[in-house]
Amino acid sequence: TQLLEQSPQFLSIQEGENLTVYCNSSSVFSSLQWYRQEPGEGPVLLVTVVTGGEVKKLKRLTFQFGDARKDSSLHITAAQPGDTGLYLCAGHRWAGGTSYGKLTFGQGTILTVHP
Amino acid sequence: NAGVTQTPKFRILKIGQSMTLQCAQDMNHNYMYWYRQDPGMGLKLIYYSVGAGITDKGEVPNGYNVSRSTTEDFPLRLELAAPSQTSVYFCASSYEPTGFEQYFGPGTRLTVT
């Protein structure tokens, strides 16, 4: 069972369109992060959200953390071909024992933006 | 700062061979991780370490071993390579005060034939 469910799994859109990627869970997270990964490279951190209801903007990207800290969304406005990549959400949730410091990753959303 | 470095970048192994994937970080991070990523998929945690001398299993540890003798280095050992271990391996490090934000290396693409 996936602790963090990302949707959609694939997204293929035209340049200039808007899109939203969702990251949902039944568990509460102390923090949640979004990463982007380009082919042949490691994931790169985009943002961290820690407060329920928090909204962060990074140019055309808007990130939101749900009020209950169980879900998050990534919205891209006027997508560009350079936005193409794999988007991963990841959350930190301390469940006791040795879970401290481990992140739970979603399965990822592959975004393709066509010129 | 070089960040997180991994060697080699590519490797082809025959079934039954062994090898060590090297990982080093120069950010003085206590936490280090090994993940594997299969094509078009997310990341699966193999092993992680909360500091020198302390390691623990992740989600998919079978067939792998790790050691952490220094803060900087976290090598991953593959014993008796199998085709199921064909994957891209990423090493990462993190720092508690930033909510364990992960800094990833460039990856090692391993093929077992």
User: Which of A6, A48, A88 is closest, CB to CB, to B101?
Assistant: A48
Nearest Cα residue in chain B from A85: B40
| Per-residue pLDDT, A59 | 95
Confidence band for B99, pLDDT divided at 50, 70 and 90: confident
Mapping DSSP to helix (H, G, I), strand (E, B) and coil, where does residue B64 land? strand
| Per-residue pLDDT, A95 | 67
Beta carbons of A111 and A74 less than 8 angstroms apart? no
| Per-residue pLDDT, A6 | 95
Nearest Cα residue in chain A from B33: A102
Asked whether the predicted pLDDT for residue B26 surpasses 90, the reply is yes
d(CA B113, CA B102): 31
Per the DSSP assignment, residues forming a β-bridge with A20 are A75
Q: With CB atoms and an 8 Å threshold, state whether A108 touches B56.
A: no
| Per-residue pLDDT, B37 | 94
Residue B57 vs residues A11, A92, B51: alpha-carbon distances, Å: 33, 17, 14
Give one word for B48, left, alpha or beta, with left for phi > 0 and alpha for psi -120 to 50: beta
Chain A residues whose CB is inside 8 A of the B102 CB are: 33, 35, 43, 45, 90, 103
B58 Cβ under 8 Å from any chain A Cβ: yes
Q: With CB atoms and an 8 Å threshold, state whether A45 touches B56.
A: no
Average of per-residue pLDDT values in chain A? 92
